[in-house]
């Protein structure tokens, strides 16, 4: 959940209604965003 908070700026209230499956899917999207060459985070 920390990955989602960091990448998408979501708080606990934003994630609470999501199922475990949905959280896992969003976590994968966060990973892809961070690892993308066009992502918002650098690989420092």
What per-residue confidence (pLDDT) applies to 42? 52
What per-residue confidence (pLDDT) applies to 37? 75
pLDDT in tens, 1-43: 899 999 999 999 999 999 999 999 999 999 999 998 775 555 4
What per-residue confidence (pLDDT) applies to 44? 46
| Separation CA 25–CA 12 (nearest Å) | 16
Long-range (24+ apart) CB contacts under 8 A made by 34-37 are 34/7
Q: Which residue has the higher pLDDT, 44 or 9?
A: 9
Residue carrying structure tokens 């690989």: 43
Q: Which residues contact 27 (CB under 8 A, 6 or more apart)?
A: 3, 4
Specify whether the CB–CB gap between 33 and 39 falls below 8 A: yes
pTM of the model: 0.75
């Amino acid at each position: 959940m920390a990955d989602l908070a960091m990448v998408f700026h979501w708080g606990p209230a934003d994630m609470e209604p999501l199922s475990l499956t949905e959280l896992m899917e969003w976590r994968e999207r966060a990973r892809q965003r961070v690892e993308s060459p066009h992502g918002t985070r650098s690989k420092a």
